[in-house]
Structure 1
Amino acid sequence: MLESQFNWKLPEVSEPDVAKKLQDQFKLTPTISNILVNRGYTSSETVEKFLNPQIDDIYLPDALHDIDKAVERIRQSIENGDKITIYGDYDADGITSTSVMYEALMTVGANVSYYVPNRFTDGYGPNVDSFGRLIDSGTQLFVTVDNGVSGNEAIRFANEHGVDVVVTDHHELPEILPDAFAIVHPRFPGTDYPFGDLSGVGVAFKVAWALLEEFPSELLDLVAIGEIADLVSVTDENRILITYGLKQLQQGMRPGLHELVKLAGVNEQNLNETNIGFAIAPRLNALGRMDDANLGVELLTTLDDDRAVELAAMVDQLNQQRQKIVADITKEALEMATADYNLDHQTLVIAGQGWHEGVLGIVASRIVESTNKPTLVLNIDEETNIAKGSGRSIEGFDLFSSINVVRDITTSFGGHQMAVGISLKDTELDNLQIALEKAADEANLAGQPKRVLKVAANVTPDDLNLELFYQIEQLA
């Protein structure tokens, strides 16, 4: 008999009377009402809002920290004719965030351009060199989207050169915040914004709304893509934003997206969140991994049908290249992960040469899925002998803290418990492996229980029918 790889967590209905009441009130199957109750939807009001999202329930931007200050500063630059540069990020959330802010500023007549940093030459977030080049080319105000709260050095540099920075971001706030003119963030300490799990594009949308002084429904399609791609909670106002964004996407109003959807083989009129997660977002992410993510902003914002066809083809081709490169590196890395010299290791440090650094996080994730071991996958540069790559972890093992104790052997390092980016001399790889194995022993990694698989509901064959199928779709 095969042994289960997971510890199955079977559901129990915590409040059966409540589930029965909701079942009758909303004409739900028992399976669906039980799922809703188990996930905390125990009142008629919360169930109604979940099953039937309404655009009027989206929160006003007013409660966001520094929103008024940010809008006032942007308007000042618009009135003065100053050059505003939107400083974005190279993933799908960052690309859509940049597009949302760019379109909003264009609508109000701003002198605006955008810059999406290059993963390989610029790295993530604001950096002094990029800011310096942009200031030299005339930038008089920066507006960051989906990044900025950790850009202390670059923002200090901008301030010293008389250039203000408005930060709009959603990432974890560091202990020391940058001295930006304004920081718009849904989880800023001391503010009472009612929903803290907006993605970068969600925050950019709120700034655009405040700037335009009317609800910019035409931007919701971009919001839906960024929210889904960034894996934020699909509840509360995110659920509403995505619901209405999907409806707009189904109309195919953006030439670039229309052509990309066609190349992805997706039925545009029935486009859903799965299509975004597995067809649209990976193609946008491929730009930042393989080439220049600025092309993604042009794709999403162009009104030229011919250019849209050209850009969509470029994006799709890059994604195909990305898929092949990932498959090739994964095959090679998996052979190393399962080789005799790694069988007794609780953690994996896998390094090769000629591996494309833009996809190593994906490869690390696949090795973790296959081995259930925390894994670092690195490329060794033959000229510099620097090993650079990404790591992914498993529940119960803090990868960031495990490496942080030997941070001095790295040349750059950052991340969090489940994912890291790292570079170090190739001569330090053995020391890195030793440190990870020591951390694994201290965390009793070998004695950790199996990964938990949460089961949403128990069903019998008699429960399976079209009614259940359609109601499950309502929970998507």
Structure 2
Amino acid sequence: MILTPLQNKILEQKGFDLENKAELEKFLFPNWDRDLLDTKKIKDIDKSIKRIKKAIDENEKIIIYADYDCDGIPGAVILNDFFEKINYKNFSVYIPHRHNEGYGLNKNAIQKFIEAEVSLLITVDVGITNLEEIKFAEENGINVIVTDHHLPILDDKAKQILPKAFSIINTKQIGDKSEEKFLCGASTAWKLVNAFLNKYRKEFGIGEGWEKWLLDMVGIATIADLVPLKNENRLLAKYGLAVLKKTRRPGLLRILSNAKVNQKKINEDDIAFALAPRINAASRMAEPIHAFYALLQNEEAVNYANELEKYNSARKQESKDAETIIDYEKFSEEKIILIGDEKWTPGIIGLVASRVCETVKKTTFVWGVGEDENILKGSVRAGEDGYNVVEIMTSCQYLFENFGGHEMAGGFAIHKNNLGKFQEFLREYKIERKENQEIEEKKNLEFIDIEIKDVNRKLFDQIKIFAPFGMQNEKIIFKIKLKENDFVQSKRFGKNLEHLEISINGIRGIEFFVSEERENKLLAQKEFLINLEWDNFRGDIVMRFVK
């Protein structure tokens, strides 16, 4: 393994020991046979697959109950494709309505399953916090297998409170011995399928490695759900992208076409900014099951893919309208942001939370109004301030109707009468910042000095080995200082001229959704922090300015 000085410097910035060749090999060149972790270390995995086998042998009615986001829906597709592959017919997929039912399991849905004589319910990306709902199901003859990656509820002594399900597959639960603790929901479901086939593959006549074709769904979810892209997650994301470049799913191909994404060159940014918003748009603007149908392996999926495009356009307009009333100046004095508006629907609050969080770098809670005007629906995103959003909500759980999520993102429902109390709680909330956390934040700010003449294909080829980029494997930041004879040009572009292009000696740099204030600040700068990307449409390198 021969690396360039630049590559070694990047590895050191990312915290790697250059003498540990095995660790470097695993990170830079993930290998399926070497790096895929043994499912046997996952708690309850054997118990779960035996229960599924029993259900198949006895033709039991099975429900796959998945979250409505870009993690749960691909996870539901994984289990759907698995059951279809083994030719099992007695199952169906249920995805709750984001606005009418909210996040997680709900008793009304479970009551329907009881009446339909369902005897096995498998969750995807939900369930770990649904104590009462799972108790209700189990008491009424429905065994529940929870597959989830969210954090369990903690009691006042920080002890996990787990649902009394038949079995729980969640690598964050106490007693789990698997090495990868940060799988997403879809990859957790994939692990269940992988374990089942490892035990029963020959009995069902499934070829070795068939489950790799499900990694397109794992790759989408792993990147979209913002789990750390290192260790096994990096393996799953990298192989997931490889399968995406070969996938034949008709609906998925239409989504890519509508989004103008080149399938053969798809990367993590295409998932984050093209695929995920369209998949999520179904639950935000219409029915989440439509996104599930769009990802299936049939021709009808194309029609649903086209519907997703319409939903996404409507979502963008509604989000744009919401952002016009946000006053960013008032956030400067707030430690943790809490905002909302009675005109905001639950379908856009996650988008607003993400946009505000990205802008002010602070943990942001956003609420809107659904069908019940007294119960506000909320979404939260973690900023660069070190807060764990589930810990925040657990600390004041008495204020919520329900809540859930993981360290970086979550959802909640709160009675409007408790909103003021929640605001006061957030203003008083404190955590002890750990020393290593502060060191990590400083490390993330490191950059590499280069000259504009160094920005070329050779430089890009040196850094692409570190992709896919994402959480805990951030894009490399370069710093360019302008020289006296450097030639700088700028122009606006986009339908409403909302984006900015700044070229330095003919090398394009772009930033999207740029205010006039931001434009003036950029043009006055004598040095820039940038990421480098490859523009597949134009076939050249492009700089992305770092805020």
User: Do both proteins adopt the same fold according to a TM-score greater than 0.5, normalized to the shorter chain?
Assistant: yes
1:403–1:435 CA contact under 8 A, matched in 2: no
Displacement of 1:281: 1.2
| Partner residue in 2 for 1:97 | 75
Corresponding position of 1:458: 448
SS of equivalent to 2:103: coil
1:301 is paired with a residue whose SS is coil
Secondary structure (helix, strand or coil) at the match of 1:459 reads strand
8 Å CA contact 1:197–1:232 kept in 2: the answer is yes
Q: Are the counterparts in 2 of residues 354 and 381 from structure 1 also a CA contact under 8 Å?
A: no
Q: What's the counterpart of residue 518 of structure 2? A: none
Structure 1 residue 37, shift from structure 2 partner: 3.1
Q: What's the offset of the Cα at 1:327?
A: 1.0
- Of residues 71, 75, 80, the one that matches 2:53 is 75
Per-residue CA deviations over 1:405-458 (Å, capped at 9, x if unaligned) read 766555555567765544445455445444433448999xxxx99x85724542
Asked if 1:357 corresponds to 2:346, the answer is yes
- The match for 1:194 is 179
Q: Residues of 1 paired with 2:405 and 2:27: CA distance?
A: 33
Q: Relative to 1, partners in 2 of residues 1:191 and 1:405: Cα closer, same or farther, differing over 3 Å?
A: closer
Q: In structure 1, how many angstroms separate the alpha carbons of the residues matched to 2:405 and 2:345?
A: 20
Q: Which amino acid aligns with 1:471?
A: Q
Residue of 13, 33, 38 corresponding to 2:8: 33
Task: Name the CA distance, whole Å, in 1 between partners of 2:97 and 2:248.
Answer: 29
| Structure 1 match to 2:252 | 257
Further displaced range: 371-380 or 47-56: 371-380
Shift of 1:264: 0.6
- Note if 1:473 corresponds to 2:464: yes
Matched, 1:313 2:306: yes
SS in 1 for 2:458: helix
Q: Which amino acid aligns with 1:327?
A: K
CA distance, structure 2, for counterparts of residue 303 and residue 95 of structure 1 = 16
Please say if 1:219 is aligned against 2:214: yes
1:316-395 aligned within 5 A: 316-332=309-325, 334-335=326-327, 337-338=328-329, 348-372=337-361, 374-380=363-369, 384-392=373-381, 394=383, 395=385
> Which stretch shows the higher mean deviation, 139-148 or 257-266?
139-148
Structure 1 residues 371-380 or 179-188, which shifts more? 371-380
SS in 2 for 1:193: coil
Cα distance in 2, alignment partners of residues 287 and 413 from structure 1: 21
Classify 1:193/1:386 alpha carbon distance in 2 versus 1 (closer, same or farther; 3 Å).
Answer: closer
State the alpha-carbon separation in 1 of the partners of residues 69 and 263 from structure 2.
23
Residue 347 of structure 1: CA displacement?
A: 5.2
Deviation digits for residues 31-55 of structure 1 (CA, Å, limit 9, x no counterpart): 2112223322532222222222222
Does residue 160 of structure 1 match 2:139? Answer: yes
- Residues 159-178 of structure 1 correspond to what in structure 2 (within 5 A)? 159-174=138-153, 175-178=160-163
Letter of the 1:201 partner, please give it. Answer: A
Residue aligned with 2:56, SS:
helix
Count of residues in Structure 1 that have an aligned counterpart in Structure 2: 440
Letter in 1 for 2:131: N
* Unmatched segments (≥5 aa) in structure 1: 1-24
The equivalent of 2:274 in structure 1 is 279
Output one character per residue of 1:76-106: Cα deviation in whole Å (capped at 9) or x when no partner.
Answer: 1111111111111111110111110111122
What's 2:194 paired with? Answer: 209
The secondary structure found in structure 1 opposite 2:161 is: coil
Structure 2 distance, partners of 1:133, 1:321, is 32
Question: One-letter code of the match for 1:475?
Answer: F
SS in 1 for 2:91: strand
Separation in 1, partners of 2:231, 2:448: 26
Tell me the distance in 2 between the aligned counterparts of 1:284 and 1:319: 8
Report matched runs for 1:55-66 at 5 Å.
55-57=32-34, 58-66=36-44
- Give how far 1:302 is off: 3.2
Task: Describe the shift of the 1:167–1:372 C-alpha distance in structure 2 as closer, same or farther (beyond 3 A).
Answer: closer
Over the matched positions of the two proteins, sequence identity in percent amounts to 34
Alignment deviations for residues 121-142 of structure 1 (CA, whole Å, 9 cap, x no partner): 2222222211111221231211
Q: Which residue matches 1:115?
A: 94
Q: How does 1:291-310 map to 2 (within 5 A)?
A: 291-304=286-299, 307-310=300-303
- Aligned amino acid, residue 44 of structure 1: K
Residue identity in the other structure for 1:469: F
Q: Distance in 2 between matches of 1:240 and 1:379?
A: 37
Does 94-103 or 45-54 show the bigger shift? 45-54
Matched residue SS, 1:92: coil
Q: Give the drift of 1:254.
A: 0.8
CA contact (8 A) 1:346 1:440 kept: no
Equivalent pair of 1:403/1:436 in contact (CA under 8 Å): no
Segments of 5+ residues of structure 2 without an aligned counterpart are 154-159, 202-207, 468-547
Of 309-318 and 290-299, deviating more is 290-299
Letter in 2 for 1:93: D
| Partner Cα distance (2:275, 2:421) in 1 | 40
The residue that corresponds to 1:19 in the other structure is: none
**CA deviation after TM superposition for structure 1 residue 392, in Å:** 4.1
TM-aligned CA distance change 1:35 to 1:311, over 3 Å: same
1:318 is displaced (CA, Å) by 0.6
Name which of structure 1's ranges 221-230 and 413-422 shifts more when overlaid on structure 2: 413-422
Deviation at 1:172, TM superposition (A): 1.4
Using CA pairs below 8 Å that are at least 6 residues apart, which structure has the higher relative contact order? 1
Contact 2:98 2:346 in 1 (8 A): no
Partner residue in 1 for 2:503: none
RMSD in angstroms over aligned alpha carbons?
3.0
Determine the structure 1 residue equivalent to 2:25: 48
Q: Distance in 1 between matches of 2:41 and 2:395?
A: 39
Partner of 1:84 in structure 2? 62
Task: State the one-letter code of the partner of 2:98.
Answer: R
Task: Look up the match of 1:267.
Answer: 262
Which has more strand, going by share of residues?
Answer: 2
- The aligned counterpart of 1:229 is 224
Give the 3-state SS of the residue equivalent to 2:123 in structure 1: strand
Contact 1:264/1:279 (<8 A) preserved: yes
Aligned residues of 1:364 and 1:377 also touching (Cα < 8 A): yes
